[in-house]
Amino acid sequence: PSQLNYYINSPIVLYAKGIIKESSNSVAIVGSRRCTEYGKKVTIELATELSKSNIPIISGLAKGIDGYSHTVAIINNSYTIGVIGTGINICYPKEHIKLMESIFEKGLVISQFPP
> What's the predicted TM-score (pTM) here?
0.90
- The pLDDT mean for the chain works out to 93
Query: Given a cut of 80, is residue 1 above it in pLDDT?
Result: no
Query: Given a cut of 90, is residue 9 above it in pLDDT?
Result: no
- Percent of the chain exceeding pLDDT 70 equals 99
**Amino acid 5: pLDDT:** 81
Distance CA 56, CA 98 (A): 20
**Amino acid 60: pLDDT:** 94
**Amino acid 54: pLDDT:** 93
Across-strand partners of 59?
82
DSSP class of residue 110? Answer: E
Structural domains of the chain sorted by starting position, each given as residue range(s) with its CATH number in brackets: 2-111 (3.40.50.450)
Sheet of 27-28, strand order: 15-18, 108-111, 80-84, 57-59, 27-28
Per-residue model confidence as pLDDT tens digits over 30-81: 988 889 899 899 999 999 999 999 999 999 999 999 999 999 999 999 999 9
Query: Given a cut of 80, is residue 4 above it in pLDDT?
Result: no
